[in-house]
Amino acid sequence: QVQLVQSGAEVKKPGASVKVSCKASGYTFTSYGITWVRQAPGQGLEWMGWISAYNGEKNYAQKFQGRLTLTTDTSTNKVHMELRSLRSDDTAVYYCTREEGSGTGWFDPWGQGTLVTVSS
């Protein structure tokens, strides 16, 4: 079955960087893009960015421009999300999810989520 499995929880100090991985299985990796969404404690879902696993094309939310980098590794079917210059308000659960229906896209399935805690 289609599955996305993310790396484990991270604790970082303000100003540091974090890198979260998302391993895809059960489908042809290069046929879909992967989106990252985060959810701060008690809050809603926030889109961060997307990367094509086919050609590496990227689309980042303006809010994260300059701090966010998405990369793919087709040899391991993994997508990596790196967020730099972390602040306390970056504390959140970060999800990767597969995008379907290009142009009017929806997201299915979702990874289990990775909690990133930013604290001094």
Partner 1 sequence: SYVLTQPPSVSVAPGRTAGITCGGKKIGSKSVHWYQQRPGQAPVLVMFYDSDRPSGIPERFSGSNSGNTATLTISRVEVGDEAAYYCQVWDSSSDHPMFGGGTKLTVL
| Contacting positions for partner 1 (CB under 8 A) | 35, 37, 44-47, 50, 59, 61, 95, 97, 100-101, 103-113
Task: Decide whether 14 or 26 has the Cβ nearer to partner 1.
Answer: 26
Secondary structure of the chain in HEC code, one letter for each residue? CCEEEECCCEEECCCCCEEEEEEEECCCHHHCEEEEEEECCCCCCEEEEEEECCCCCEEECHHHCCCEEEEEECCCCEEEEEECCCCHHHCEEEEEEEEECCCCCEEEEECCCEEEEECC
Nearer to partner 1, 13 or 66 (CB): 66
Residue 9 or residue 16: which is nearer to partner 1 going by CB? 9
Task: Output the smallest distance, CB 113 to partner 1, in A.
Answer: 5
By beta-carbon proximity to partner 1, the closer residue of 52 and 97 is 97
Measured from the CB of residue 108, what is the shortest distance to partner 1 in angstroms?
A: 4
With a CB cutoff of 8 Å and minimum separation 6, the contacts of 104 are none
Query: Least distance to partner 1 from the beta carbon of 10, Å?
Result: 17
Nearest distance, CB of residue 47 and partner 1, angstroms: 5
